[in-house]
């Protein structure tokens, strides 16, 4: 790499500092999930209201913005599934499993499949033979050098719907157990019934966000996380952080998933601490010099010391 530090040595250096960070209690974990569901429900209600008023240019704009917002909140639920597969969401291990399975029902996925694929991604990052998450999207060329041409291609790919077979669909396996399989069937039947009663509301504010906007955001996020650096031998160079302004992070990267490099280095760190972990790592000059870790214009202005409060998760 031209630098003296590898991901493994950085992990050894900071592992103790990032151990013992407080996860959510059972009640707190379900409260966070409920907060995202309430946002989705409120947005669907607002979308239905927009459909009930006379059509104008601003109502069309608001409908597009509302559908997009719902897609970002679905990403929040998916981010929680991701945290649950690392058992970093709740301090109660069975709660991680229950929430992971419940959220997977809402996203028409399967928690066990997601967990198996994602853990292979951590164990074999960028190895198409064994990294099952990246293997299914190898055809999109995230391993190719990141140029203006490839960046434009990654941007356009979802607009053409080419990503949908890999990123969208309904998983009807029974791998999460009979109860959650039955819950998923009931959920899908409820969607069909709702579509019969309010077809335009369901189309614009449930189906399109769930099966197009949410998968599109996932594809673009995978590109931001790994495009151009897939196959890098050291994990310090194989993922990147996206240090966008805070309002953009809150909308597009719910649950702090913009710190993807930090997560790959320290997957046990609860998501609500990733920003603090990044600041702590930036005290190390070699991490700070990594282009995937920090924006060049901010390399020399990070705080030199951050103290963790390990007893209480930071506020959302």
Mean pLDDT score, 219-247? 91
> Average of pLDDT values for 230-244?
89
Quick one: pLDDT at residue 285?
Answer: 86
Query: In the predicted model, what is the mean pLDDT of residues 243-271?
Result: 93
Of all helices (H) and strands (E), which one includes residue 101? helix 93-106
Choose among 135, 139, 119: nearest CA to 127.
Answer: 135
How far is residue 24's CA from residue 8's CA, in Å, rounded to a whole number? 28
Q: Would you call 307 exposed, middle or buried from its count of C-beta atoms within 10 A (0-12, 13-18, 19+)? A: exposed
Across the chain, what does the average pLDDT equal?
91
Instruction: Taking each helix axis as running N to C, give the angle between helix 57-85 and helix 93-106, from 0 to 180 degrees, rounded to the nearest 10.
Output: 150
Q: What is the mean pLDDT of residues 199-213?
A: 98
User: Per the structure block, which two tokens stand in for 84?
Assistant: 């649950």
Tell me what percent of the chain is helix, strand and coil, each rounded to the nearest 5: 60, 0, 35
- Minimum mean pLDDT among 69-78, 190-199, 241-250, 288-297: which range? 288-297
Predicted local confidence at residue 47, as pLDDT:
98
**Residues near 284 by Cβ (< 8 Å), separated by ≥ 6?**
5, 10, 13, 14
User: Do 85 and 243 touch, CB atoms closer than 8 A?
Assistant: no
Q: Across residues 256-269, what is the average pLDDT?
A: 94
The per-residue pLDDT for 234 is 86
203-207, 224-228, 290-294, 302-306: lowest mean pLDDT where? 302-306
Prediction pTM value: 0.90
Q: Where are the alpha helices (DSSP H) in 53-92?
A: 57-85
| Residue 264 in this model has a pLDDT that exceeds 80 | yes
- CA triplet 85, 87, 90: central angle to 5 degrees? 125
* Confidence (pLDDT) at 278: 94
| Pairwise CA distance, residues 271 & 34, whole Å | 17
Measured over the CA atoms of residue 110, residue 113, residue 119 and residue 122, the dihedral's sign is negative
Give residue 32's pLDDT band: very low, low, confident or very high (50, 70, 90). Answer: very high
pLDDT tens digit string along 268-302? 999 999 999 999 999 888 888 888 888 533 333 33
CA-to-CA dists, residue 250 to 21, 58, 79, 246, angstroms: 22, 24, 13, 6
Per-residue pLDDT tens over the stretch 44-98: 999 999 999 999 999 999 999 999 999 999 999 999 999 999 999 999 999 999 9
Token pair recorded at residue 82: 């991701």
CB 299 within 8 A of CB 288: yes
| 90 bridge partner residues | 24
Work out the burial of residue 5: count CB atoms within 10 Å of its CB; fewer than 13 is exposed, 13-18 middle, 19 or more buried.
middle
DSSP 219: H
């Amino acid at each position: 790499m031209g630098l003296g530090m590898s991901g493994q040595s950085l992990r050894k250096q900071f592992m103790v500092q990032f151990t013992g960070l407080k996860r959510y209690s059972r009640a707190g974990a379900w409260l966070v999930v409920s907060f995202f569901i309430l946002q989705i429900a409120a947005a669907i209600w607002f979308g239905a209201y927009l459909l009930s008023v006379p059509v104008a240019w601003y109502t069309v704009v608001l409908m597009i913005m509302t559908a997009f917002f719902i897609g970002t909140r679905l990403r929040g639920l998916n981010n929680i599934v991701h945290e649950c597969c690392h058992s970093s969401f709740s301090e109660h291990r069975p709660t991680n499993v229950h929430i992971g399975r419940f959220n997977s029902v809402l996203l028409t996925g399967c928690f066990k499949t997601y967990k198996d694929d994602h853990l292979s991604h951590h164990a074999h990052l960028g190895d198409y033979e064994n990294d099952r998450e990246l293997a299914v999207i190898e055809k999109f060329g995230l391993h190719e050098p990141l140029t203006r041409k490839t960046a434009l291609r990654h941007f356009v790919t979802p607009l053409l719907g080419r990503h949908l077979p890999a990123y969208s669909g309904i998983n009807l396996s029974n791998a999460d157990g009979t109860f959650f399989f039955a819950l998923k069937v009931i959920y899908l039947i409820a969607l069909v019934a709702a579509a019969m009663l309010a077809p335009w509301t369901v189309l614009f504010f449930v189906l399109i966000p769930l099966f197009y906007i949410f998968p599109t955001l996932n594809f673009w996020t995978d590109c931001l996380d790994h495009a151009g650096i897939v196959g890098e031998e050291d994990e310090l160079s194989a993922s990147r952080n996206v240090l966008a302004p805070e309002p953009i992070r809150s909308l597009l990267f719910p649950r702090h998933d913009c710190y993807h490099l930090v997560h790959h280095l320290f997957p046990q760190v609860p998501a609500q601490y990733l920003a603090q972990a990044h600041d702590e790592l930036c005290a190390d000059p070699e991490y700070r010099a990594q282009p995937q870790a920090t924006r060049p214009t901010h390399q020399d202005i990070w705080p030199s010391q951050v103290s963790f409060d390990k007893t209480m998760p930071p506020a959302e």
